[in-house]
Amino acid sequence: MADTIGARIRYWRLRRGGMTQATLAGLAGVTQSYISQIEAGRKAIERRSTLVAIATALQVTVLDLLGQPGDPTDPAKAGAAQAVPAIWAALIEIEEGERRAPGREPGDVAAAIAAAADLRARSDYATMARQLPALLLDAAATGPLELAQVGYETSVCLRNLGYRHLSLPAARIALAGARDAGHDAWIGAARFVYTLALPIEAAPIAARTAGRSLSDLQAAAARPDVRQMLGQLHLTAALSSAVDQRTDDAQAHLGEAEREAATLGDPPDGTGFNLSCFGPTNVTLWRMAVATELGDYGRVVELARTVRPDGLRVANRHQSYWLNLGRALAHSGRADREALVAFMHAERAAPVPFGLNPLAREAVAGMVYRARRRSVSEDLRILARRVGITVAV
């Protein structure tokens, strides 16, 4: 089996002066049996908070434990990676305040931004990445609102391709552009994407940042687009609070988002402002994500029965539904066939982000381990390959 989080934990544990499993378990607040099962591949790490605790105990970053999953032969991933250096250079140029003459007319820039948003709706981040270097520079030369929009697209794209360290400066550029444009809804959107770009270890900061943003936007809360962004900020604050193990705060933010969504309803066009999809359906999808993080897997399955994301025309909302349902079903080890079906739906909804998702990889790795006592089905073998796990024939 390919390198897993468990294998990396063992590597770093031994690098720390031969730290024992018992010592690591004590520092991370888990049991020695749990560490043993993680390292052996018999159990998956299912919660971000556990990753943070183990990484802190080992004095490494969560990224050191996650690595970069995914099928290394996937041409879409390779094509996207080739564009990243040029995106990085464009971000640096913009942050340094340099501005070139625009390479296209404002109308053409607007059309290119709309095309990028359409690619985001389909989770086609590989194609988007190849268009972003020139679009970033043209947006910077056109105006602050255009820069806010392209900065947002860039942050989302880089984060979903596994380049979170570059997603953060892109979010900062989006926020600066939105502020210069004086556009409250885009300020909210930029702050939302900024919290998502923060590393997992910064969950407390992400929750506080979202909270401050909620206060700052209240003066413009009568506008529907701003209200959608307020709702989205409550949702990201809820997930960040769950990662930080502040369950009451997570539930309070979910409650606020639910009240806002009840008055707005699901977006008639299936997308809403900036493809946020904010409404009752999206709130339930985030409730599933928060319940997964809190380890309430039975609640995830219950919520899944009450909602279908089909009315939302954004691929990552569909992936979120199936991914969290799959993780919940795989947790017990007794519903692996149903979990496999859910993961296959998630992979079809957004192939590249699914292949790069380390928590999906861990769940699939656990399913492969359990299946070896019987046999690994061809469907599971293919899915494992998509997340970078090679199963011996």
Q: What pLDDT digit, counting tens, does each position of 285-333 carry?
A: 999 999 999 999 999 999 999 999 999 999 999 999 999 999 999 987 7
Report percent pLDDT > 70 for the chain: 95
Report yes or no on 47 lying in a domain.
yes
Per-range mean pLDDT, top range of 10-19, 72-81, 312-321, 378-387: 312-321
Task: Return the CATH number at 30.
Answer: 1.10.260.40
Report yes or no on 60 lying in a domain.
yes
Q: What pLDDT digit, counting tens, does each position of 200-250 carry?
A: 898 999 999 998 899 989 989 999 999 999 999 999 999 999 999 999 999
Three-class secondary structure assignment of the chain: CCCCHHHHHHHHHHHCCCCCHHHHHHHHCCCHHHHHHHHHCCCCCCCHHHHHHHHHHHCCCHHHHHCCCCCCCCHHHHHHHHHHHHHHHHHHHHHCCCCCCCCCCHHHHHHHHHHHHHHHHCCCHHHHHHHHHHHHHHHHHHCHHHHHHHHHHHHHHHHHCCCHHHHHHHHHHHHHHHHHHCCHHHHHHHHHHHHHHCCHHHHHHHHHHHHHHHHHCHHHCCCHHHHHHHHHHHHHHHHHHHHCCCHHHHHHHHHHHHHHHHHHCCCCCCCCHHHCCCCHHHHHHHHHHHHHHCCCHHHHHHHHHHCCHHHCCCHHHHHHHHHHHHHHHHHCCCCHHHHHHHHHHHHHHCHHHHHCCHHHHHHHHHHHHHHCCCCCCHHHHHHHHHCCCCCCC
Question: Given pLDDT bands bounded at 50, 70 and 90, which one contains residue 1?
Answer: very low
Q: What is the pLDDT of residue 355?
A: 86
Q: What is the pLDDT of residue 73?
A: 56
Report yes or no on 14 lying in a domain.
yes
- Region 259-270: mean pLDDT is 96
Q: Which two tokens stand for residue 42?
A: 């018999």
Report yes or no on 19 lying in a domain.
yes
Question: Given pLDDT bands bounded at 50, 70 and 90, which one contains residue 356?
Answer: confident
Q: Regarding predicted confidence, which is higher, 389 or 214?
A: 214
Question: Given pLDDT bands bounded at 50, 70 and 90, which one contains residue 32?
Answer: very high
- Region 50-65: mean pLDDT is 89
Question: How many structural domains comprise the chain?
Answer: 1
Q: What is the pLDDT of residue 98?
A: 87
- Region 4-29: mean pLDDT is 91
Report yes or no on 348 lying in a domain.
no
Q: What pLDDT digit, counting tens, does each position of 89-111 carry?
A: 999 999 999 888 888 999 999 99
Report yes or no on 340 lying in a domain.
no
Q: What pLDDT digit, counting tens, does each position of 140-198 carry?
A: 999 999 999 999 999 999 999 989 889 999 999 999 999 999 999 999 999 999 999 99
Q: What is the pLDDT of residue 385?
A: 84
Query: If you count them, how many residues does the chain have?
Result: 393
Whether the predicted pLDDT of 361 surpasses 90:
no
- Region 14-30: mean pLDDT is 92
Q: What is the pLDDT of residue 25?
A: 94
Residues spanned by the domain of 22 = 5-66
Q: What is the pLDDT of residue 297?
A: 94
Whether the predicted pLDDT of 379 surpasses 60:
yes
Q: What is the pLDDT of residue 42?
A: 82
Report yes or no on 55 lying in a domain.
yes
Report yes or no on 13 lying in a domain.
yes
Report percent pLDDT > 90 for the chain: 70
Q: What pLDDT digit, counting tens, does each position of 119-139 carry?
A: 999 999 999 999 999 999 999
